[in-house]
Amino acid sequence: MRRNIIVIFIFVTMLEAAMVCAEPAPEALRQTIRDYIASEEKSKGAFEIMDERTGDLRRLELVRVHERVGKTGNYYYSCTDMKDVKTGDLLDLDFDIQDEAGNLKVADVRIHKDNGDPRYTYDDRDNRVPVVVSHLKPTQEGSSISGKVTFTEMAEGLKIDAEVSGVSPGRHGFHIHEKGDCSDAGNAAGGHFNPDSVPHGDLVQDGFVHAHAGDLGNIEIDASGNGKLGKLITGLTLNEGKYGVAGRSVILHEKEDDFGQPTGNAGGRIACGVIPEKA
Ligand SMILES: [Cu+2]
């Protein structure tokens, strides 16, 4: 009798362990997302999500659920491509799925990318960190300059990665300017972002005491007209505050920034991009 009880006890324990350890099948996770979207469409007439960045309620339709599934912390996740019914924008949404003893439920939905621009990424400790992307546009008609500047809010500081093309070879001054307005051929962006009212310099070398907070130096452009810049600046942030850069702009200049006074003799403004506010 006692032996039977022990056998049953061991059996139940093993069964529980199997239930806890069983990973849901990838297709079951993908189907949970499809079912969730379908049930939202049925109950509300459409699948909608609040865009925290713009404050708009966006109506989306499913294009496809990604093959890849994964796990972060207590949640499983997969992503979907969805289309904004009104604007035609392609969004990448992340779905977190909770496994309650084999019962799969969507726990959270977030906009990960909007038309290819990421809104967050994961740092090396798996923390979700905000990202904003500024698109550089030429200030002159007929110019073919284009570019993208990605700002990532790391624990160590603000990571700034710029990629530009269609620019004349050589060094071109590159700064954060005060206002998030690229009108009037970039002049509406105002002067360099300079919250400490200090002289011009090279922020990485000279720090906030001897350089403007917007003094990012130069981007070196190769013979094909392409150039990159990658800097991690401790102190700058996408958050509000004295060193907050969101809602300002980035300017690419005609000439090299020679770090002379008052603004580096970098000449005209050839491209400009507004730095969006994070969600
Ligand atoms: Cu400038």
Give the model's confidence band at 54: pLDDT under 50 very low, under 70 low, under 90 confident, else very high.
Answer: confident
* CA–CA distance, 221 with 174 (Å, rounded to integer): 12
The pLDDT of residue 8 is 58
For ligand 1, the distance from its centroid to the CA atom of residue 177, given in whole angstroms, is 6
How many residues can be counted in the chain? 279
What separation in Å is there between the alpha carbon of 153 and the centre of ligand 1? 22
Q: What is the mean pLDDT of residues 69-75?
A: 88
Please give the sequence-ordered ranges of beta strands (E in DSSP) within the chain, or none if there are none: 47-50, 57-72, 75-84, 90-100, 103-114, 117-118, 120-122, 128-138, 146-154, 157-165, 170-177, 215-221, 227-233, 249-253, 269-274
Q: For residue 168, how far is its CA from the centre of ligand 1 (angstroms)?
A: 17
Residue 201 CA to ligand 1 centre (angstroms): 11
- At 266 the three-state DSSP class reads coil
Q: What is the pLDDT of residues 230-255, one digit of tens each?
A: 999 999 999 999 999 999 999 999 99
Mean pLDDT confidence for 215-228: 98
Amino acid, single-letter form, for residue 190: G
Instruction: Measure the CA–CA gap between 124 and 34, rounded to whole angstroms.
Output: 30
Buried b (16+ CB within 10 A) or exposed e, 12-44: eeeeeeeeeeeebeeeebbebbeebbeebeeee
Is it true that 22-115 and 130-274 share their CATH fold?
Answer: no
Average pLDDT over residues 128-139: 97
Instruction: Please tell me the distance between residue 269's alpha carbon and the centre of ligand 1 in angstroms.
Output: 7
Residue 102: its pLDDT value, please?
Answer: 87
Q: Are 198 and 139 in contact (CB under 8 A)?
A: no
Per-residue pLDDT at 16 = 55
The fold of the 130-274 domain, in CATH, is: Immunoglobulin-like (2.60.40)
Structure token pair of residue 132:
């904003």
Instruction: Tell how far the Cα of 186 is from the centroid of ligand 1, in angstroms.
Output: 10
Using the mean position of ligand 1's atoms as its centre, give its distance from the Cα of residue 71 in Å. Answer: 43
Rounded to two decimals, the pTM is: 0.86
Count Cβ atoms within 10 A of the Cβ of residue 58 and give its class: 0-12 exposed, 13-18 middle, 19 or more buried: buried
Nearest residue to 225 via CA among 163, 168, 146, 161: 168
| Cα 192 to ligand 1 centre (Å) | 6
Q: Does domain 22-115 have CATH number 3.10.450?
A: yes
Domain ranges of the chain: 22-115, 130-274
Give dist(CA 148, CA 201) in Å, integer: 24
Q: Do 253 and 269 form a contact (C-beta atoms < 8 A)?
A: yes
C-alpha 214 – ligand 1 centre gap (Å):
8
| In the predicted structure, residue 191 carries a pLDDT above the cut 80 | yes
Listed in sequence order, the DSSP H helices in 22-144 are 26-44
What pLDDT is attached to residue 1?
Answer: 55
pLDDT for 3 equals: 62
CA 115 – ligand 1 centroid, Å: 28
Alpha-carbon gap, residue 182 to 179, rounded angstroms:
8
Enter the DSSP assignment of 125. T
